[in-house]
Structure 1
Amino acid sequence: MHKISKEKLQSKSKVGIILRPSTPEIKENYFIIKHCFEKHNIEVFLERSSASMIDEDGYDLDMICDTVDFFASIGGDGTLISVVRRTFKSNKPVLGINLGNLGFLTDLKIADLDNFLDNLETDNYRIDSRMIIKGSTNIKKFFAFNDIVISRKSLSSMIKIDAKIDGKPFNSYFGDGVIISTPNGSTAYNLSVGGPLVYPLTDVFIVTPVAPHSLTQRPLVLPADFEIEFTVSDNQGAVVIVDGQDIYEVEHNQSVKIQIASKKGKLIHRKTRNYFQVLNEKLQWGK
């Protein structure tokens, strides 16, 4: 039976803020949010690249990770994913503040923040621990909150990818590529190509082929204690796309090994947030 975590912040006096990149017009919203935190006696530490974007002073991310009690991501789901990936090793939870349409991950708008911080003071909130996956090649290591995609380089040809579980061959994928998703990412690219929705607080891999040549290739859900290895058999090599944000090249016969990371990504949510209600609203089930 699933149980909601009872983890709480040990202190709530310092927050690190990271803004959606390439949007200097976010400055006015930032000061509204900063004032709201300070009204609740929470000191704000703005990350340096975010600060530079709006002509303010900021702090190095490593210093912020060592200093703050939690982070706030200001933007959308993409910004939140980036912040979790950059900070999860510090074990500091992230609060997502959405500036547009409410997403699957960011359920708080600026107008909700003051009331939420009242609830934060009285421990009326929750912290969700989300699975992170670690990928590695012979020269690179990377982490994903949503998914790792191994994709063809050329639009004019398909790609062949041989897959192993714990060192034993189990499949060969021939098509446009393959998605290795966390439950968090089951509502992202995985969903758009027919992969299953998976409850986000579980620990499993979702392996979903993209436009497979054979219709017998189906999505696969695997326990997260496996190590999965994908070897690119295509002479042209492939590209590895991490959370839709970072891209790496993989050469012919190079392997990508994927396993669960040793630490979780942590999200701060309202206690009343209901995952299935979010699915109902975002996917318009029953309409």
Structure 2
Amino acid sequence: MSAPGTAVLVTHTHPENSSEGVRAAVAAAREAGVELVAPEDEHRKHGDAAAELGRAEELEGEPGVCIVLGGDGSILYALRRYAGTGVPVFGINFGTIGFLAAVEREALEDGMRRALAGDFEVMSVPALEVSISSERPVAFNDVTFTRVPHGRVAELSYSVGAQEVGHVRCDGLVAATPAGSTGYNLANAGPILAWGVEGYVVSFIAPHTLTARSLVMAPGDVLQVQNAAGRDPVEVEIDGEHIGELAPGEEVGVSFRDGAGSLAQLQGASFYTRIREKFGRLAK
């Protein structure tokens, strides 16, 4: 990819974890001759460290790349922010796992140089679209339906189109993309979907039955999730962020959206090597 003329910077929620990275980014952008900007909240968060950054709100058009100094949560935020724009998101892991990151924090300077030079490949990643509002928000990791805290066990019916698939009492239901299949879905004993698989997976949180099993969905399948009448509301989250509730008797659709995001990766990066390295690290 060619070098970007402009880059936008997004960082970890806690500035003490990423201020050093902001200073490194400013220096690298100055050397590369790339205009580096950041949203207003980043300026407030980092103070003097962000003094040389431009204002993203004043940028005409989209940036050439979004550089994220953070973990998977920050990278997911950036993917949602630039969904459908084609802006590649280049993650430098300042979090714990950093499964979506292109490079680790220890390689900050080299990673910044690569990001600003366009020295990376762009991988198209799918999302899940939720029909909970007129905005139809998207999730790049997962959509979760969970019982409210201290509430009764949820009773959820799920169907594909007009075909009912099942009815289950559980603590929740998770619909995950291939990228998100290594998260909440994996904790539910759901299958890992390799990046590049077209489709998504549905799994259950603490199902109160022996028959509820994970289900791999085709890309054209629209999942309908209905909360049983007379039950407590069910919380709905995308990528861990609350977006609303499913009232008793209410139904919500989840659909596969191919190519919604652009994730930057170094040339030769392997999904299977990443699985071994990231999850092997947690096992030590």
The TM-score with structure 1 as length reference comes to: 0.87
Structure-2 residue corresponding to 1:46: 38
Structure-1 residue corresponding to 2:15: 23
Structure-2 residue corresponding to 1:282: 278
1:132-281 equivalence runs, <5 A = 132-137=127-132, 141-234=136-229, 235-261=231-257, 263-281=259-277
Let me know the Cα RMSD of the aligned residues.
Answer: 2.5
Counterpart amino acid of residue 272 in structure 1 = G
Counterpart amino acid of residue 251 in structure 1 = A
Counterpart amino acid of residue 32 in structure 1 = A
Counterpart amino acid of residue 160 in structure 2 = I
Residues 102 and 169 (structure 1), Cα distance of their counterparts in 2 relative to 1, 3 Å cut: closer
CA contact (8 A) 1:175 1:212 kept: yes
Residues 123 and 81 (structure 1), Cα distance of their counterparts in 2 relative to 1, 3 Å cut: closer
Secondary structure of the structure 2 residue equivalent to 1:95: strand
- Take 2:63 and 2:193, find their aligned partners in 1: how far apart are those partners? 32
Q: 117, 121, 128: which one pairs with 1:126? A: 121
Give the deviation of 1:139 after TM superposition: 5.9
Give the deviation of 1:89 after TM superposition: 2.7
Structure 2: state its 5+ residue gaps: none
CA contact (8 A) 2:67 2:89 kept: yes
- Quick one: percent identity of the two aligned structures? 21
Residues 96 and 120 (structure 1), Cα distance of their counterparts in 2 relative to 1, 3 Å cut: closer
Residues 80 and 198 (structure 1), Cα distance of their counterparts in 2 relative to 1, 3 Å cut: same
Counterpart amino acid of residue 137 in structure 2 = F
CA contact (8 A) 1:66 1:90 kept: no
Q: Over residues 219-267 of structure 1, what are the superposed CA-to-partner deviations in whole Å (9 max), with x where a residue is unaligned?
A: 0001111111111105212100111123411211111111123642111
Give the deviation of 1:42 after TM superposition: 1.6
- Take 1:37 and 1:67, find their aligned partners in 2: how far apart are those partners? 17
Give the deviation of 1:125 after TM superposition: 2.4
- Take 1:118 and 1:19, find their aligned partners in 2: how far apart are those partners? 17
CA contact (8 A) 1:131 1:261 kept: yes
Structure 1: state its 5+ residue gaps: 1-7
CA contact (8 A) 2:5 2:34 kept: yes
